[in-house]
Amino acid sequence: MSMLQFFIAVDVTVVNIALPSIGDNFGVDAHSLTWVVVGYTITGGGLLMLGGRLGDLLGRRRTLLTGTALFGAASLLAGLAPSFGLLVLARLLQGAGEAIALPAAMATIVLMFPEGPRRSRALSVWAAVASCGLVLGFVLSGIITAHLGWRWIFLISVPFILIVLLAGLFLVERDRPIHRGTEPLDVPGAVLLTACPLLFTFGVVEAGEPGTPGWVAPAALVGAVLAGVGFVRVQARSRNPLLPLGFFANRARVAANLTTMLLSGALSTSFLLFTFYLQDRLEIGPIGAGVTMVPLAVALIAFSMLVPRLLSRWGARACILAGLAFTAAALAVIALVAVLGAGAAAMVPAMLLIAAGMGLGLVGLQYVAVSGVTDEDAGTASGVQRAADQLGGSSGVAVCVGIGFAPTLHAGDPFLVATVLAGIGLVVGVVVVGRLPAPAPVQNQQE
């Protein structure tokens, strides 16, 4: 499960440093290249809850293998794509494969370990693998692009996906017989949930693009609002909703997913700010920029070992608040370094703070988001949590980086503007989490 998580996480960031090479190969500009990144994350995030419901209704093992196979086939198509259009299509299919496979993988882990230290340790490993995949995507992208060519950033994952498929066939327990109702799956809800962030991102990006007609951005943003309202109405009327309204009865779970969106937006923004500062401001090459981010990956591994103990000692809410605070401090350091024009070494403290914020915050939020799940709703809860993480990250980047680096929208330093916007989201997260009653710490138990 963690190997699958790793390569799915790698694919979120591995294209960033390779984008200039892809653009040169197909003769497309930077504006078009953004869809290679955004198309994957939004399609994956928008369909994650549908993937979670598929796991609950059709069986986790069956759904896991289907999504993994689709992700592997799409990776192969992306690496062999003869045109830019096919590359974007392959990225969309990769997102769909992720949306089907990841909730089933996370639900398998959640149900494999009982609530308590064993589950907290399992989720820590899961989160650490994902975080390292995101960071190492930058490193691998520079090395692979420089020595093998950009196509191999997709092709290199194919044999490992085959290993996951074979391991899943032999190691994952077969699905139990499942009673299926006669109601169809909520496909309209999935379409609306995907369209909402896609239109929102398009509207924000186009708002800062010189030469774009003035009506395009407002129309896209209005469309995003209508899609969001339509999604809520469909869920209220559907007999088999993508997101049952009873899900919102758990106040702590709703707060955890909302805060996950805000924290993921800030973390994803920080990743791009690191890249932009190292490559654009300091003009460090792709390999050098990737190597500079190695301390972040090492720190994430270290925090993954500490988080289970801290959950046992402090409880989930304290860990979440600490993660939000560390992330806010990292954003302040990024803004200060950018304003002062300091060297690459000055970014290392921010990287260490980001590692602490990601390790403490996301693991604590995952623990709260899946607390109290049963065999019937584990896939849905996991899908919602993953969707909150991914859609929060992509939407946060659209707002913070899209507005921060759009000179037509403001005259301030782009790094300062982006960090302030991300910081506002973190403050909202602190307010949301702070209003929840403090849960009891995860009790240590003998395994």
pLDDT of residue 447: 39
* Structural domain boundaries in the chain: 2-186+238-434, 187-237
Question: CB-based contacts of 164: which residues, under 8 Å, 6+ apart?
Answer: 3, 4, 68
CB count in 10 Å sphere of residue 206: 20
**pTM here?**
0.77
Residue 160 Cα distances to 51, 157, 165, 412, angstroms: 22, 5, 9, 45
Where on the phi/psi map is residue 283: left (φ > 0), alpha (ψ -120 to 50), or beta?
A: left
pLDDT of residue 60: 82
User: Please, what are the averages of pLDDT over each run of 10 residues along the chain (447 residues)?
Assistant: 85 76 80 73 80 78 91 94 92 90 83 78 78 74 83 91 90 71 71 84 72 81 92 83 75 88 91 82 80 81 78 85 95 94 91 91 84 69 79 82 72 86 93 72 47
User: Which residue in the block uniquely carries the two structure tokens 């790698």?
Assistant: 10
Which of 275, 17, 10 minimizes the C-alpha distance to 130? 10
Tokens of 408: 């037509």
pLDDT of residue 446: 38
Tokens of 339: 């304003």
pLDDT of residue 376: 64
CATH number belonging to domain 2-186+238-434: 1.20.1250.20
